[in-house]
Amino acid sequence: MGDLNAALEFVLGDSIEGGYVSNPADPGGETKFGICKRSYPNLDIEHLTRDGARAIYARDYWTPILGDELPDVVALVSFDCAVNQGVSSAVKVLQEALVNQGYLPEDAVDGRHGSQTLGAVKLADPLWLATDMIFLRLGRYMDLKTWGNFGKGWTRRMVLLYNQIRSA
């Protein structure tokens, strides 16, 4: 099942979520290790430590996506999606991929994990499911008004994620 440490190593690696950034085009505001001021308005983002980010990610992202209950590659893609696109989006992307593959009915896409979603995950091929999720995520990014500013980086992130799951 999912490996939180491996997911954290990917997300906190130099190629994904780096140091402190305050980009006026970023709707999340100032960011460090992928943790943004908009989500954590009372947190001193600039002085956030890597260990502090790891604790936030474990509590607020890994646990809600039920990372421990998902196959490794699905957990990694779900976690990365939760970090960059939100927890509800991560669950919806997983559910949409399960719908695409015929394991869930369309009306099951609600952004909440449940026994129906987890049961469907067990039936799916993990690598195929994770790959479908990456393509769905890329489509979501392309629909954002900030695509022009961040599209190249998001595409690079999806390529790195795809390479990671293929080598797992």
Q: Which of these, 11, 119, 19, 21, lies nearest to 66 by C-alpha position?
A: 119
Q: How far apart are the first and last CA of the chain?
A: 13
Domains of the chain in start order, with CATH, are 4-167 (1.20.141.10)
Taking residues 109-120, what's their average pLDDT? Answer: 92
Is this prediction's pTM over 0.75?
yes
Q: Name the residue with higher pLDDT: 150 or 120.
A: 120
Q: What is the mean pLDDT of the chain?
A: 90
Using one digit for the tens of pLDDT, what is the confidence trace for 23-74? 676 766 788 888 988 889 999 999 999 999 999 999 999 999 999 999 999 9
pLDDT score at 58: 97
pLDDT score at 27: 67
